[in-house]
C-alpha cells in the first residue's frame, strides 16, 4: 500500500492520517518558524512554552490579498471544500521526494554511471558457450531450448540514460525506483537477433556480466535480479546503496538495443519471430506452412526500443505543468490502494501516465488543470471508455504502412497504441484486469460526485485488498497444474509466443471460461498473481510455478446468485450442441411447465448457504472438464465462516430458513391481530421488535412441539406442567411484537391509569385470540404470550401518547413541563424506536440477502470476545447495516464472509472517538441533517 494509508492503519483509526495534522497546524517548516517567531515576539511567561499570537485590530480585519482571493476562488471552483484541497496537498507532500533525498539519489546515480562504464569487456564467444561466466553468477533467464545461434561479447554501454517517473518528477514513495536504460553497443548485436530469443539471451548475459563486477563494488549494499514487469524474458538488475541509504532508492538497469536496430515491419502483431521447429526442438519441416504470429514477443522487443521515446513524450507533455504531475501522482496512489499496478499485466504507473498524455493530446485535459481535476478527468475517461472494443492511439499519422487498430484488436484484448503506432502499451493487460480498472473508476466517480465529506479518505487512503473487495476468492495451486491446462486447451502457439510462461498462457482462457459459466451470477472477475521475488545473482532464476498460487476474485450479483438452474436452448436448436459440450455430463434434457423441452443444468443446493456456494460447483466442474484442473487444486473460500452461525443440529443450513419460517409465522399472526373482532379499539399498527424479525438473531429459535408424555395436563388452566421425572423442557425464546391501538379520547391521562387500561387490553387480546383462532395465550399486566406453530410471540399493547405523558412534570405553581425520564426513554425505545429499526432492517434484508449473515457473524464474534455487555444487539445491527447502505469504496457485500471482514476493518479503523458513524436508513437524512449530525 501507499505510505499514507499504512500510517493511517498504524494509528488504528480511519480518520485523517498524521500527515493531515501538519496541514491543519501550519503549512510546512516555514509556516512553523514564522508562527514561533510571532509567539516569541508576543512574549511568553516561561521558556519553551508556546503562547497564542496577539494581533492588532488592523491585522485581524485587514483586507485579503490578491493571492488569497485567487486561492479562495480556485478552491471554490476546483475542489469540493477547502479541507479536500488541504488533504490533497498534504498527501502529495507525503508521497513526493524531498530535495535532500533527490540530491542523495542524484549523487548515487552519478556513481552508478561511473561504475558501469568501468566494467571490462569480454572476448567474443558463441551464445551457447557460457563457460566465461564466473561461478558466482547465473544467467537470469531460463534458456529453453538452450541451443540458439549467435555470438556474444561484452562492451560497456553506448549510452546510460535515466528513464521513467524519477526523471519526470512523478515518482512516489515509499518504493522509489529509478529506471536506467543501458544502450547495448551495436557491435554486440547481429541482424537476426530478433529471432528465437537471441536478443533476450544476449540481454540476460549482459546483465549477468554487469552483476558479477558490480557486486564486488563496496558502493552497493545489494545487487540482485528481478522481473519488474513480470516478464520472464526481461530481467533487470537491481542496485541499492550501501549502509543507511539502502532503503533510499532502487536503481533498475534495463539493457536496450540501439535506436532503429530492429526493423519495425518485422515487429508487427501479425509477424512471427519464434520458429516452431526451434521452440519444439524439431528439424524444420519445409512444408511451407505459415508460422503462427508472436504478438507478445514482438511487443517485448518494441518496448525496449521505445524507452527513450516514451520518456521524451511524457517530458514534453508534463513539462512544467505541476498540475499534470500532481494528477499522475494521485492516480498512482489510487492504483496502488487497489492493487492494480503489480506484476505482469498490471495497470502500471507508466501506463496511467500515458493515458494522461493521451487525454492532453485530445484536449480532454488542459495543462493548467490542478491535480484533482486531472484525477477526475482520467477516472471519468477510464470509467466511460472501453479499450477492449474501441482502442485508442497516440499516433495521429496517416502513414498507410502503419497497422490499423483492428489488427491489434485481433491479437490483444486491450489496445492503446503509442506515438509510433506500432507498440500496444496494453499488450500485457488481460481483459479481466482492464474491466477491474474500469469498475474501480466507475465506483470512484460515483464517490466523487456524491461530494461526501470522507471522499478523500475513501478514494485515496483506504486500501482495497482482494480479500475485502470480492465476495468469493479461489486459489489455484500448485501452478504447475496449469501446464496440463495448456495441453487440454491446446495453447501451444500462446506458449511459444510467451516464452513458455504457461501461467500467462492459461490465464486469459481460464477467465473467459469462468465468466461464461458463471453468467448472470457474476458482476466482475479479477485475478492477481503474487509478484516474483528478487533473487541473488548466484541463484537460478525463479520458475513459472515459484509464485505458488493464482488467485481469482468473484464479485457476484445477489439477484442471480442463488438460482439452481442454468437454462439452455431448446433441444432442436443448433446452440444445444454447444451447450452440451460446454457443460458436459451436467447438461440434461428437461421438460418445463410451459411444455418446452430444453437443455438445462441443475445444481444441488438445499439451503440458502449452499445456494450461495453454487459458484463453487460451477468453477470446479468447468476447470476439471475443460482445463484438467481437479477440485483438489482449487481452494475455494466463499463460506468458510458459515459453520459459526449453524445450529447444533444443522450441517448445511446457516439459519436463514429458520428465520424465514419465524417471520412467516409473525406475518400470519399480524393478519390475525388486524382482523380481530371485539376489541374496544381497532389495531392501528403491528410491528416486530425482536432480532429474529429483522433477521439478525445469531441462533434463531426453532418451533417446539411439546411431547405430552413429558407433561401433566392442568385442564382447569388449560396448561401443561412439566413432570419432575422427565428432562427439562426446551426453552422457547419469546419474540416481542408491539401492537398499537388507535387513539381515543377515552384513554386516561394518568400514567398509572394507562397501565391498568393496557392490562385490560392484554387480557381481552388473549381472550379473543383463544376464542376466534384457538391460539394458546397467557396474559399478564404488561404483555400477552401467544403460542403459534411452535413459536412464542410476546405481544405488548402500546398507546402512542404514553411516553409523552410519562415526560410530563408539574411544578408547585401548576405549570406542566416535558422532561425525559428513565421510564419515558425506556418506553419510547421499546415501543417506537425498536419497531422502526426492525422494520427498516427487515426491508434491508429484502434488498441485500447477505445482511443477515453479516450481522449474525458480527454478533458471534463480539460475544466470543466477551464484549456483548458493551455492544448491544441494536448497535451491532446498525454497524452491519452501514456496510450495505454506505459500502464505499466497495460494493455492497453479496456473501457473509466478505461482509464480516469489512466489519472487522470498519470497527478497527473508524475514528469512534471524534466522528459519529451515521447510518442513513431509508435515506431519511438529507444533506443538511447529515452535516448537523456530523458536527
558: cell is 445477489
Average pLDDT over residues 310-314: 92
CB 641 within 8 A of CB 859: no
Which pLDDT belongs to residue 315?
A: 92
Sign of CA dihedral 597, 601, 607, 611: negative
Residue 848 in this model has a pLDDT that exceeds 80: yes
pLDDT, one tens digit per residue, over 124-151 is: 999 999 889 988 899 999 998 898 999 9
Which pLDDT belongs to residue 282?
A: 77
Using pLDDT thresholds of 50, 70 and 90, give the confidence band for residue 50: low
Residue 862 in this model has a pLDDT that exceeds 90: yes
Buried residues in 703-726 as b, exposed as e (16+ CB within 10 A):
eeeeeeeeeeeeeeeeebeeeeee
Which pLDDT belongs to residue 23?
A: 32
Give the residue with greater pLDDT, 59 vs 269. Answer: 269
Predicted TM-score (pTM) of the model is 0.86
pLDDT, one tens digit per residue, over 888-929 is: 899 999 999 999 999 999 999 998 888 888 888 877 776 544
Residue 708 in this model has a pLDDT that exceeds 80: no
Question: From CA 145, how far away is CA 130, in angstroms rounded?
Answer: 15
> Residue 556 forms beta bridges with which residues?
522
Using pLDDT thresholds of 50, 70 and 90, give the confidence band for residue 649: confident
Residue 174: cis peptide before it, omega within 30 degrees of 0? yes
Side-chain-facing half-sphere of 894: CA atoms under 13 Å: 24
Residue 9 in this model has a pLDDT that exceeds 70: no
Using pLDDT thresholds of 50, 70 and 90, give the confidence band for residue 839: very high
565: cell is 438452474
Phi first, then psi: what are they for 470, rounded to 5°? -120, 150
Which pLDDT belongs to residue 935?
A: 47
Average pLDDT over residues 548-566: 90
Question: From CA 397, how far away is CA 425, in angstroms rounded?
Answer: 17
Residue 321 in this model has a pLDDT that exceeds 50: yes
Residue 441 in this model has a pLDDT that exceeds 90: yes
Residue 37 in this model has a pLDDT that exceeds 50: no
Using pLDDT thresholds of 50, 70 and 90, give the confidence band for residue 792: very high
Question: In a 3-state reduction of DSSP, which class is residue 20?
Answer: helix
pLDDT, one tens digit per residue, over 383-430 is: 999 999 999 999 988 888 888 899 999 999 999 999 999 999 999 999
Question: From CA 390, how far away is CA 368, in angstroms rounded?
Answer: 28
CB 883 within 8 A of CB 903: yes
Which pLDDT belongs to residue 12?
A: 39
Average pLDDT over residues 544-550: 85
CB neighbour list of residue 248: distance below 8 Å, 6 or more residues apart: 101, 104, 105, 108, 176, 241
By percentage, how much of the chain surpasses pLDDT 90? 50
Question: From CA 768, how far away is CA 765, in angstroms rounded?
Answer: 5
Question: Mean pLDDT lowest for which of 299-313, 459-473, 699-713?
Answer: 699-713
pLDDT, one tens digit per residue, over 332-388 is: 999 999 999 876 778 989 999 999 999 999 999 988 888 888 999 999 999 999 999
Question: From CA 611, how far away is CA 895, in angstroms rounded?
Answer: 11
pLDDT, one tens digit per residue, over 723-774 is: 887 788 778 889 999 999 887 777 888 888 888 888 999 999 999 999 888 8
Residue 43 in this model has a pLDDT that exceeds 50: no
What average pLDDT does the chain have? 86
How many other C-beta atoms can be found within 10 angstroms of the C-beta atom of residue 658? Answer: 19
Using pLDDT thresholds of 50, 70 and 90, give the confidence band for residue 164: confident
Average pLDDT over residues 18-22: 35
CB neighbour list of residue 622: distance below 8 Å, 6 or more residues apart: 513, 514, 517
Residue 80's closest CA among 383, 557, 433, 448? 448
The whole-angstrom distance between residue 667's C-alpha and the CA centroid of its chain comes to: 39
Amino acid at each position: 500500500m501507499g505510505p499514507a494509508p499504512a500510517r493511517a492503519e498504524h494509528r488504528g483509526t480511519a480518520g485523517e492520517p498524521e500527515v493531515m495534522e501538519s496541514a491543519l497546524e501550519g503549512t510546512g517548516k516555514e509556516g512553523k518558524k514564522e508562527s514561533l517567531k510571532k509567539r516569541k515576539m508576543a512574549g511568553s511567561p516561561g521558556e519553551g512554552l508556546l503562547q497564542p499570537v496577539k494581533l492588532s485590530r488592523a491585522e485581524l480585519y485587514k483586507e485579503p490579498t490578491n493571492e488569497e482571493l485567487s486561492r479562495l476562488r480556485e478552491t471554490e471552483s476546483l475542489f469540493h471544500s477547502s479541507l479536500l484541497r488541504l488533504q490533497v496537498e498534504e498527501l502529495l507532500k507525503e508521497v513526493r521526494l524531498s530535495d535532500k533525498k533527490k540530491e542523495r539519489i542524484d549523487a548515487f546515480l552519478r556513481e552508478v554511471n561511473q561504475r558501469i562504464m568501468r566494467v571490462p569487456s569480454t572476448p567474443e564467444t558463441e551464445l551457447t558457450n557460457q563457460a566465461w561466466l564466473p561461478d558466482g553468477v547465473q544467467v537470469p533467464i531460463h534458456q529453453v531450448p538452450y541451443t540458439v545461434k549467435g555470438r556474444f561479447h561484452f562492451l560497456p554501454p553506448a549510452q546510460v540514460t535515466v528513464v521513467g517517473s524519477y526523471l519526470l518528477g512523478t515518482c512516489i514513495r515509499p518504493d522509489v525506483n529509478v529506471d536506467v536504460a543501458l544502450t547495448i553497443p551495436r557491435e554486440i548485436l547481429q541482424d537476426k537477433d530478433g529471432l528465437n530469443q537471441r536478443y533476450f539471451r544476449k540481454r540476460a548475459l549482459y546483465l549477468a556480466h554487469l552483476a558479477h563486477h558490480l557486486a564486488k563494488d563496496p558502493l552497493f549494499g545489494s545487487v540482485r535480479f528481478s522481473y519488474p514487469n513480470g516478464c520472464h524474458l526481461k530481467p533487470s538488475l537491481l542496485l541499492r546503496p550501501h549502509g543507511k541509504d539502502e532503503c533510499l532508492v532502487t536503481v533498475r538497469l534495463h539493457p536496450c538495443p540501439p535506436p532503429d536496430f530492429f526493423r519495425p515491419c518485422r515487429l508487427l502483431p501479425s509477424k512471427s519471430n519464434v520458429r516452431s521447429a526451434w521452440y519444439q526442438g524439431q528439424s524444420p519441416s519445409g512444408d511451407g506452412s505459415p508460422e503462427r504470429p508472436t504478438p507478445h514477443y514482438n511487443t517485448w522487443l518494441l518496448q525496449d526500443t521505445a524507452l527513450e521515446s516514451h520518456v521524451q513524450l511524457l517530458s514534453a507533455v508534463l513539462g512544467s505543468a505541476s498540475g499534470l504531475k500532481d494528477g499522475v501522482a494521485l492516480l498512482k496512489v489510487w492504483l496502488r490502494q487497489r492493487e492494480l499496478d503489480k506484476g505482469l499485466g498490471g495497470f502500471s504507473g507508466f501506463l496511467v501516465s500515458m493515458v494522461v498524455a493521451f487525454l492532453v493530446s485530445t484536449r480532454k485535459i488542459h495543462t493548467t488543470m490542478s491535480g484533482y481535476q486531472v484525477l477526475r478527468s482520467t477516472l471519468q475517461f477510464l470509467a466511460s471508455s472501453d479499450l477492449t472494443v474501441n482502442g485508442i492511439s497516440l499516433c495521429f499519422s496517416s502513414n498507410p504502412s502503419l497497422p490499423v487498430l483492428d489488427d491489434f484488436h485481433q491479437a490483444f484484448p486491450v489496445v492503446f497504441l503509442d506515438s509510433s503506432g506500432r507498440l500496444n502499451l496494453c499488450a500485457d493487460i488481460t481483459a479481466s484486469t482492464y474491466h477491474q480498472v474500469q469498475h474501480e473508476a466507475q465506483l470512484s466517480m460515483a464517490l466523487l460526485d456524491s461530494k461526501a465529506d470522507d471522499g478523500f479518505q475513501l478514494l485515496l487512503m483506504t486500501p482495497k485488498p482482494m480479500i475485502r473487495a470480492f465476495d468469493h476468492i479461489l486459489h489455484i495451486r500448485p501452478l504447475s497444474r496449469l501446464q496440463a491446462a495448456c495441453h487440454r486447451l491446446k495453447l501451444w502457439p500462446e506458449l511459444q509466443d510467451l516464452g513458455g510462461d504457461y501461467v500467462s498462457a492459461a490465464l486469459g482462457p481460464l477467465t473467459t471460461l469462468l465468466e461464461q459459466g458463471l453468467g448472470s451470477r457474476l458482476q466482475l472477475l479479477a485475478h492477481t498473481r503474487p509478484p516474483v521475488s528478487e533473487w541473488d545473482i548466484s541463484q537460478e532464476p525463479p520458475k513459472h510455478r515459484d509464485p505458488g498460487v493464482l488467485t481469482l476474485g468473484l464479485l457476484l450479483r445477489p439477484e442471480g446468485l442463488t438460482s439452481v438452474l442454468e437454462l439452455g436452448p431448446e433441444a432442436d436448436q443448433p446452440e444445444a450442441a454447444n451447450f452440451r459440450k460446454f457443460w458436459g455430463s451436467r447438461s440434461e434434457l428437461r421438460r418445463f411447465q410451459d411444455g418446452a423441452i430444453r437443455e438445462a443444468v441443475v445444481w444441488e443446493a438445499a439451503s440458502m448457504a449452499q445456494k450461495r456456494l453454487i459458484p463453487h460447483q460451477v468453477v470446479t466442474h468447468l476447470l476439471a472438464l475443460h482445463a484438467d484442473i481437479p477440485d483438489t487444486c482449487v481452494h475455494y473460500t466463499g463460506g468458510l465462516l458459515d459453520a459459526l452461525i449453524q445450529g447444533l443440529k444443522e450441517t448445511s443450513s446457516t439459519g436463514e430458513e429458520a428465520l424465514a419460517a419465524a417471520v412467516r409465522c409473525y406475518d400470519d399472526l399480524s393478519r390475525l391481530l388486524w382482523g380481530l373482532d371485539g376489541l374496544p379499539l381497532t389495531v392501528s399498527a403491528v410491528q416486530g421488535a425482536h432480532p429474529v424479525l429483522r433477521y439478525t438473531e445469531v441462533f434463531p429459535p426453532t418451533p417446539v412441539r411439546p411431547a405430552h408424555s413429558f407433561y401433566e395436563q392442568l385442564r382447569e388452566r388449560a396448561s401443561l406442567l412439566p413432570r419432575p421425572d422427565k428432562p427439562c423442557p426446551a426453552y422457547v425464546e419469546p419474540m416481542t411484537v408491539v401492537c398499537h391501538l388507535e387513539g381515543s379520547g377515552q384513554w386516561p391521562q394518568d400514567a398509572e391509569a394507562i397501565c391498568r387500561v393496557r392490562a385490560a387490553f392484554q387480557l381481552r387480546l388473549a381472550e379473543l385470540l383463544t376464542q376466534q383462532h384457538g391460539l394458546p395465550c397467557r396474559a399478564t399486566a404488561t404483555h400477552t404470550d401467544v403460542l403459534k406453530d411452535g413459536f412464542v410471540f410476546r405481544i405488548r399493547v402500546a398507546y402512542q401518547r404514553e411516553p409523552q405523558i410519562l415526560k410530563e412534570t408539574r411544578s408547585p405553581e401548576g405549570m406542566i413541563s416535558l422532561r425525559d425520564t428513565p421510564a419515558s426513554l425506556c418506553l419510547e425505545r421499546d415501543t417506537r424506536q425498536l419497531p422502526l429499526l426492525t422494520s427498516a432492517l427487515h426491508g434491508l434484508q429484502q434488498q441485500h440477502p447477505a445482511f443477515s449473515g453479516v450481522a449474525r457473524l458480527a454478533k458471534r464474534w463480539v460475544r466470543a470476545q466477551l464484549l456483548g455487555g458493551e455492544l448491544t444487539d441494536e448497535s451491532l445491527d446498525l454497524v452491519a447495516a452501514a456496510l450495505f447502505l454506505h459500502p464505499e469504496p466497495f460494493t455492497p457485500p453479496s456473501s457473509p464472509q466478505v461482509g464480516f471482514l469489512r466489519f472487522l476493518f470498519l470497527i478497527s479503523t473508524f475514528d469512534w472517538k471524534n466522528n459519529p458513524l451515521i447510518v442513513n436508513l431509508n435515506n431519511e437524512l438529507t444533506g443538511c441533517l447529515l452535516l448537523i449530525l456530523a458536527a
